[in-house]
Chains A and B, each alone.
Chain A
Amino acid sequence: MSQNSQTPRGEMVTFMLNGAEVQADPNWNLLEAIQFYGIDIPTLCYDEGLTPYGVCRLCVVEIGSGDRTKLVTSCMHPVREGLEVRTHSNRVIKTRKMIMELLIARCPSSKKLQDMAALLELKEVRFKPLNDDCILCGLCVRMCEEQMVAKAIGFAGRGTDRYITTPFDMTSEECRRCGACMYICPACELRCQGPQAETVLCSGCINTEPVCASEYGDAMCFMVPCLSCVKGPEDVK
């Protein structure tokens, strides 16, 4: 957040963000501006220290006005004078939930995905779970290349056969075992094995009363932020 929390200097562009007129540094992407103004939208493949990649599509926002609106990924879209941006319109929320549903179906074992799904109030997953352990967000590849300067891993294959690997699928000499790729991976941390661990969709705990973690310490949920605190137990069905 360091770069974002400084007061922007120089020429600014003015645009509409959820109905309010705001200003932003023209070098920012939309996501940076949205975050600067304290609006929380889910992102998965974006990291401040890495080049935006725009593959998870979770950061979608709606731009334009009237009948001429379209969805764009905010992490890849530049801020421009006169834009009209909506981060939580019905269309955006519907799309976001659908993307989340697809991601969960691919990789239901990820804590991060499950937490995000709970915050988006995803109630069902209509796709057959793939139980994969990677969502191809490319964070590990960019981390390894841009921050660790090791370039030890990358994508191989294409389409449905795409996967992350080392050169020739063998233990790679370039890798220095720094662990940065695992640190940044949203799929590596396994979800809690709480009361409903075998379901595709977690968030079983939010239905339990009382909701506070001390009672359910064994469930290891530790969702950040805890959904029941954010919403208050009476808001959660």
Chain B
Amino acid sequence: MTVDESRLDSIIDEYNAEPGSLISILQDIQAEYNYLPAESLEYVASRLNIPRVQVFGVATFFKAFSLKPKGKQQIHVCMGTACHVRGSKRVLEELERKLEIKAGDTTENGEYTLETVNCVGACALGPVVVENEEYHGQMTPIKVENLLNGK
């Protein structure tokens, strides 16, 4: 993937190329590309004049950042305590089987990314699956089919 330097420039300039704004800059880049392309990180490091390893360290520290391309549909299965005791494990297993990927991976066609999270703050609805910011409560393995069919 080639990154558009002028687009990166405009993001970086918005923060006056402040090294202190590294996280905000990376967030904007992540929003733009759905992940952080390696070239963009190199470019940020040189524009902000900070060590490359520092940018890499920050990019790998936060779970919100991804160095690998993410799918169009991002599915987060809650594995928090409340969801766990209500059977989120079976929901996750069903999703893994249906999508033929493991948690943390993206399908080959770039359609789905499956991830686990620990509590999304909606425990009463558990087990919760969040698909692109949309919350689905009381999930069961059976409902997984509908979820993937967009119903």
Contact = CB atoms under 8 A, between A and B. Distances in A.
A145 B54 CA distance: 11
A152 B41 CA distance: 15
A152 B51 CA distance: 8
Interface in B88-113: none
A83 to B, nearest CB: 35
A88 interface: no
Interface residues of B, number: 12
A29 interface: no
Contacts, number: 40
A172 interface: yes
B23 interface: no
B16 interface: no
A133 B115 CA distance: 30
B60 interface: yes
Interface residues of A, number: 15
B63 to A, nearest CB: 9
Contact of A152 (B38, B53, B57, B61): B53
Contacts of B72: none
A77 interface: no
B68 interface: no
Q: Secondary structure at chain B's binding surface: helix, strand, loop or mixed? A: helix
B61 A174 contact: no
Contacts of A157: 60-61
B61 A154 contact: no
A155 B54 CA distance: 8
Contacts of B54: 151, 154
A156 B57 contact: yes
Interface in B106-151: none
A154 B59 CA distance: 12
B52 interface: yes
Interface in A147-192: 151-158, 165-168, 172, 174
A151 B60 contact: no
A174 B60 contact: no
B38 A168 contact: yes
Contacts of A167: 45, 51-53, 55-56
Interface of A: 145, 151-158, 165-168, 172, 174
16 contacts: A151-B51, A154-B51, A154-B53, A154-B54, A154-B56, A156-B53, A156-B60, A157-B60, A157-B61, A158-B60, A165-B56, A167-B45, A167-B52, A172-B52, A174-B51, A174-B53
Given A154-B54, A156-B61, A168-B56, 14 more contacts: A145-B51, A151-B51, A154-B53, A154-B56, A154-B57, A156-B56, A156-B60, A158-B60, A167-B45, A167-B51, A172-B52, A172-B53, A174-B51, A174-B52
